[in-house]
Amino acid sequence: MHHPASKPPFDPSIPVSPNNPCPFLRGLAGEGFVEGGTVPLNTLSQTIANATGETGLKKISARIQVRGVALIANGIKHILKSIWSGAQLDALRGGPLDKRGAGSRILGVDGKVNEDEIARLASFGRTYTDPRTGSSEPGLNAAEIQSFMRDNLKRAGSAARWYYKLLMKFEWPILLKIIGKGKQDEERYLSVADVRTLFEERKFPDSINQRILSQPLLSACQLRFRWAVALTAFVIGLGLVALVAVAEFPNQVRAILPQKGILVNLLPPPLPAVPETKAAFWLEQNWSLKDRHWFHHASQGTATFPVPYEWFIALEQPRLHLFSKPGMMKDSAYLEGFGFIPSPQSIQTDTTTLRRFGYANVYETTQPSDWSTRWTPVENVDGLPVGFARMTGVVDPATGRREEDKIGLTCAACHTGQIHYQGVDVRFDGGPAMTDLKKLELSTGLSIAYTLYVPFRFQRFADRVLGPDASKTDRAALKQKLSAIGTFLIDWAQTQQKTIEGKKTWNGRQQQDTEEGFGRLDALNRIGNQVFSQDLALSGVKGFEKNLHAQDAPVSYPAIWTVPWFKFAQYDASIEQPLIRNAGEALGVTALLNLSDAYPADRLWRSSVNIRTLGWIEDMLRGPDPFKAAEPKFGGLLAPKWPSQILGDAWRIDQKKAENGRKIYEQMCSGCHLPAVNTDAFWSSSHWEQSGDSKVLNAVTIPLKEINTDPEQSLVLGNRVVDVPGFLKVNTGDLQTWWQCEVPTASKSPNEMVYALGLMTVVDLVARKWMDDEKVPEAERGKMWNLARKNCLNPAPDPRYRARPLNGIWATAPYLHNGSVPSLYWLLKPASERPTRFCMGRRDYDPVTVGFAVTANETCKTGETQFSAGSEQDPIQGNSVLGHSFERKDGEPKRPGVIGRMFKDDAERYDLIEYLKTL
């Protein structure tokens, strides 16, 4: 082969094998640019790319295309030989490029040119003007060549293969690109004369020779260097593209990543867009504005977030920005994305500010008396949302050392609700929150990781926490502490996942978390994981990771108005004692708790739970004794009223329909949910039981097998078993001694116990320890305990769910205990007709169906979470939509899950819904 730089004049005597049917490759061999035998792919691709006259990226693209075609030119069986040795130009006959009669047929198998086929080629073209000479000649442009190739395939019939069409797109069009005439692509044509010369004489036009001669072939070393430079540039470019994508389009990038693995966890979970609020209103519920704000920010003694208060305030949002600093984690607008409700720094401010937060007294005529002014005041100086509280005066319960202030969630974080309607926010206390705590947990952990590993972030974090003049030693110590927290969070997440993967559910399925999503939380399993596993680990006690359980029984946050007057507050009617109920919740939201035997024994069970504050909150919720009034009625926190006076015509109640609905309610609902709370029938119900010098409502509870709604929450306390260290001396039999329970409480094993008994005993010990440390007088202890309410198991023989009175039912969507039904309308339909998928997040409330309007196969917007029941073959644990169904026909026997007759029509359903709005 002649090197292009020293190529001699054209020599027609150079032989070209008849087994090389490709006109351009014949020309390369005939002109002496390549040998007629085996040609290395690098040589072949460089030579043809040079012939195109392209430069830069277009030339690289041409080389890649040619290399790909050359690689398969001799057939699939010869690919490895082609990679190592090169394309065998004298052995193309019978390979993919030959196309076995589906090509032009200009060159016969004997290597002779068929003039009739050249004439046929010309018949698909027309006359063109040669731009160099001005003379006319026959030729074909790109479209005419395409027609010629299609006709070749048609002529071949069944002999044509599926890949011939693809190969043809690389052959004649490339030939047009290389030896075609004309400057513009749309004017470019292939001269029939040049084709004849190429076939008959194996000769290129002089312009092609000059292109190839002017660009000597690169050596293997030069090629490797160029490839290394190109690869480096490509990697850098790819990195920049990835950085821009992650910074500017994190949600879209996250969506295309595998949803299990490391990469997806490096990006923050998507949040729904928070629309602009035109107006906000807090509904009247018998609390003053001061009480409301106090409830929203009073610390229960929790440190929900893994960093001190000042550190959390200094953390940045887990977003990457190329040219600007990210916002702060504490920004109310950011936390609203997780479903939290904005709150002012103080209610002692101007009316404009109060109105913006919905606190302006625009529809109230009188204010109830303040409760909270008698108690420790609270602050919200950083403008955190409802439910965020600063715990001050923190002492490590194990060491006794003074700690930095902590930040935690209060019961208001989960039990304060709001609905959105056409830009208006309506807010109310005691209702179910529409938050997604899992996303907040993930984002907080990621924020810590970004602070440690993203350039410049720790410097800014340290400046905020320590001040810009802090020493390197102090900064290093701060980073070490933050890194230890980050390491613990990662290790714990891995431990939890590994533990769950090795455990089964009650029904024998592999344990796995069920997505809680917006508006739901598996509080019972979370509390068990915190108290019986993570608190032990934080106390330095190893080996109790085995107590972890999947979060697979999520429930909608229950409404808590009038709950202090119920014998049982939980859906599963499990715990009667109010202080145990509230202190258990505080422990579950991560209070500091010492469970270590490495310190003096009198420090065991010491915690940061503020029992006194829990009592104050209960007092505010409870209000005065309803039976001490002239006419019985609830005080304290009342259920919110249907906001028709705020939201306009679509919210006006049709009194005639409501009256029809009242009759339906009395017939179909009051047997379980009792008469409306504003009726004499409610207050005279036999379900009111004597409790000390007052009464409590022992609401109707329905066995699981009868109501047949999702079973998971009712089974957690009874089916889950926990193990505790022997040195803690947790004796569940003490409940019998302390409370004279009606049912046995002793465990069969001194260390292994049913979760319900273990939790009741542990929380009891924590509360008693707090009272001992605080030297609370006996009389005050009795008041805190409300001794008439025992810390005993519900004596009911089987799992069951409680049917609460329906005051404020309109404000508690989605419905059923697990939040599986989006609206009252769907709750009144037969269970089999309910939607099995719907989206939750920042979406408008529907005043017609009372809840959330659902469309078939609706697609969730960015950041929303999807509730899904799964399929009949693969149901999702905790997400059943069945039970509590109205579908019994006349004469049909009673059966599980069916609690009432079928409604006559939608009109009857909407009559009942209209009445339920008034409760």
Computed from CA positions of residues 45, 48, 52, 53, in that sequence, does the dihedral angle turn out positive or negative?
positive
pLDDT, tens digit (0-9, with 9 covering 90-100), for 378-398: 999 999 999 999 999 999 999
One-letter amino acid at 773 equals: D
> What span, in angstroms and rounded, lies between the C-alpha atoms of 796 and 576?
13
One-letter amino acid at 254 equals: R
> What span, in angstroms and rounded, lies between the C-alpha atoms of 602 and 104?
97
Rg (CA), the chain: 39
Q: Look at residue 85 and tell me whether its pLDDT is greater than 90.
A: no
> What DSSP state is assigned to residue 242?
H
**Stretch (H or E) spanning 140:** strand 136-140
137 - beta bridge partners? Answer: 128
Structure tokens at 329: 């984690």
Structure tokens at 809: 């039912």
Give pLDDT, residue 623: 94
Torsion-angle region of 640 (φ positive above 0: left; ψ -120 to 50: alpha; else: beta): beta
User: The tokens 């150079």 sit on which residue?
Assistant: 14
Interhelix angle 164-179/56-72, nearest 10 degrees = 140
Give pLDDT, residue 232: 85
pLDDT, tens digit (0-9, with 9 covering 90-100), for 132-171: 888 999 999 988 988 998 898 899 888 888 877 777 776 7
Structure tokens at 638: 């009342």
32 with 16: CB under 8 angstroms? no
Alpha-helix residue ranges (DSSP H) falling in 406-565: 411-414, 437-453, 457-466, 472-501, 523-529, 535-538
Q: Is the pLDDT higher at 225 or at 525? A: 525
| Distances in whole angstroms, Cα of residue 783 to Cα of each of 471, 584, 763, 792 | 51, 18, 17, 18
288 with 295: CB under 8 angstroms? no
> What span, in angstroms and rounded, lies between the C-alpha atoms of 96 and 69?
9
Please write down the HEC assignment for all residues of 94-107: CCCCCHHHCCCCCE
Give pLDDT, residue 156: 87
Structure tokens at 863: 């950041």
Give pLDDT, residue 7: 54
Query: Is the link from the previous residue into 795 a cis peptide, with omega within 30 of 0?
Result: no
> What span, in angstroms and rounded, lies between the C-alpha atoms of 596 and 535?
9
pLDDT, tens digit (0-9, with 9 covering 90-100), for 233-268: 878 888 787 777 777 778 877 777 787 777 778 889
> What span, in angstroms and rounded, lies between the C-alpha atoms of 852 and 845?
5
Calculate mean pLDDT across residues 404-413. 96
Main-chain dihedrals φ then ψ at residue 170, nearest 5 degrees: -100, -15
Q: Look at residue 604 and tell me whether its pLDDT is greater than 90.
A: yes
> What DSSP state is assigned to residue 572?
T
Q: Chain-wide mean pLDDT for the chain? A: 90
Buried b (16+ CB within 10 A) or exposed e, 41-62: bbbbbbbbbbbbbbeeeebeeb
Calculate mean pLDDT across residues 49-62. 80
- Lowest mean pLDDT segment, chosen from 55-69, 225-239, 354-368, 619-633: 354-368
Nearest to 550 by CA among 501, 480, 586, 617: 501
CB atoms under 10 Å from CB of 105, counted, come to 17
Computed from CA positions of residues 851, 854, 860, 862, in that sequence, does the dihedral angle turn out positive or negative?
negative
3-state secondary structure of 375: coil
> What span, in angstroms and rounded, lies between the C-alpha atoms of 188 and 145?
11
> What span, in angstroms and rounded, lies between the C-alpha atoms of 701 and 570?
11
Calculate mean pLDDT across residues 205-211. 81
pTM: 0.79
DSSP string across 55-86: -HHHHHHHHHHHHHHHHHTT-GGGHHHHHHT-
The set of long-range contacts for 683-686, using a CB threshold of 8 Å and a minimum separation of 24, is 683/626, 683/632
> What span, in angstroms and rounded, lies between the C-alpha atoms of 434 and 442?
17
pLDDT, tens digit (0-9, with 9 covering 90-100), for 801-810: 999 999 999 9
- Lowest mean pLDDT segment, chosen from 221-230, 392-401, 714-723: 221-230
Calculate mean pLDDT across residues 719-738. 95
888 with 898: CB under 8 angstroms? yes
3-state DSSP helix/strand/coil % of the chain, to nearest 5? 45, 10, 45
CB atoms under 10 Å from CB of 673, counted, come to 19
Residues 6+ away with beta carbon under 8 Å from 761: 730, 731, 732, 734, 735, 753
Interhelix angle 41-52/206-213, nearest 10 degrees = 120
pLDDT, tens digit (0-9, with 9 covering 90-100), for 751-788: 999 999 999 999 999 999 999 999 999 999 999 998 89
Strand runs labelled E in 249-370? 279-282
- Lowest mean pLDDT segment, chosen from 109-118, 397-406, 552-561, 819-828: 109-118
> What span, in angstroms and rounded, lies between the C-alpha atoms of 342 and 298?
16
CB atoms under 10 Å from CB of 398, counted, come to 20
N- to C-terminal Cα distance for the chain? Answer: 96
CB atoms under 10 Å from CB of 486, counted, come to 20
Nearest to 43 by CA among 52, 34, 51, 53: 34
211 with 53: CB under 8 angstroms? yes
Computed from CA positions of residues 36, 37, 40, 45, in that sequence, does the dihedral angle turn out positive or negative?
positive
Give pLDDT, residue 639: 97
| Distances in whole angstroms, Cα of residue 845 to Cα of each of 276, 421, 433, 806, 908 | 16, 6, 14, 19, 22
Structure tokens at 103: 């090509």
Alpha-helix residue ranges (DSSP H) falling in 774-829: 778-785, 824-827
Give pLDDT, residue 203: 85
Structure tokens at 142: 């790109």
One-letter amino acid at 662 equals: R
299 with 389: CB under 8 angstroms? yes
> What span, in angstroms and rounded, lies between the C-alpha atoms of 209 and 436?
69
**Stretch (H or E) spanning 7:** none
Q: Look at residue 89 and tell me whether its pLDDT is greater than 90.
A: no
Strand runs labelled E in 812-883? 837-840, 865-868
3-state secondary structure of 621: helix
Give pLDDT, residue 691: 93
Strands 388-391 and 406-409: antiparallel
> What DSSP state is assigned to residue 601?
G
Give pLDDT, residue 231: 80
Calculate mean pLDDT across residues 786-815. 95
> What span, in angstroms and rounded, lies between the C-alpha atoms of 216 and 46?
9
Give pLDDT, residue 364: 57
Calculate mean pLDDT across residues 282-306. 95
**Percent of the chain at pLDDT above 90?**
66
Band the pLDDT of 5: cuts 50, 70, 90: very low
Q: Look at residue 658 and tell me whether its pLDDT is greater than 50.
A: yes
Q: Look at residue 373 and tell me whether its pLDDT is greater than 90.
A: no
3-state secondary structure of 645: helix
Give pLDDT, residue 2: 44
Give pLDDT, residue 151: 92
Give pLDDT, residue 1: 44
